[in-house]
Amino acid sequence: MQDCPLQGNWAFSVWAGDDGTATEQAVATCTEATVAAAYWIDPQTQAWMRYFSGRSDLTTLTSLDNMQGVLALGEEAPATSGIEGQVLLGPICPVVQVGVPCPDQPFQSTVIVWNAERTTRIRTFTTDEEGRFRVPLVPGDYYLDPQPPEPGQTLPTPIPQNLTVLADQFVQITIEYDTGIR
């Protein structure tokens, strides 16, 4: 296979081998990444034919001919780094008193992950109902931009933060929303 996709990327790949080669055998020649999926439009029927690695029950693209091009997707690398944690809303009580617990509460929210310079949106994620999240990211520096619950709403105020993701670990973080209660 020529012009194989990289991990997590699409590529227009071309089979340069014998006519009638099993698609699974053809894509196995890609060394940059395992091909997770491939698509081809049959010029006669204009129907999409598809290949899914390990899913013969869904595969309709069963063979490739010499110089046949496909749109191929490289399988994602296993997530070995990123961020995980919880979003909390607080303070909850108007006056915090010694001996009277008033912990911050879990808060479901949407967070935009930017590169450190804030010029490229990397991804957007929404936490679960308990505010928990686990987001794979490649090692690097990021800016987390929690979004207001409603556009234009000033409270609770999301508190953005910078962070660094290191290789082969998930950084534990807490994202805070300030209720404004004092």
pTM (2 d.p.): 0.62
Under a CB-based contact definition with an 8 Å cutoff, are residues 14 and 22 in contact?
A: no
Instruction: Give the residue range(s) of CATH 2.60.40.10 domains in the chain.
Output: 82-178
pLDDT value at 134 more than 90: yes
pLDDT single digits (tens) 34-73: 899 999 999 999 999 999 998 999 999 999 999 999 999 9
For residue 129, CA distances in Å to 6, 64, 132, 163 come to 35, 46, 7, 24
Q: Quote the mean pLDDT of the chain.
A: 93
pLDDT single digits (tens) 69-117: 999 999 887 788 999 999 999 999 988 788 889 999 999 999 999 999 9
User: Which pLDDT belongs to residue 54?
Assistant: 87
For residue 141, CA distances in Å to 76, 122, 166 come to 21, 11, 9
Output phi, psi for 172, to 5 deg. Answer: -85, 125
Record the tokens describing residue 125, joined without a space.
């994620």
What is 82-178's CATH topology?
A: Immunoglobulin-like (2.60.40)
Residues 6+ apart with CB under 8 A from 87: 106, 107, 108, 109, 111, 127, 131, 133, 146, 174, 175, 176, 177
State the alpha helices, DSSP H only, in 102-179.
none
Whats the size of the chain, residue-wise?
A: 182
Q: Point out which residues pair with 131 in neighbouring strands.
A: none
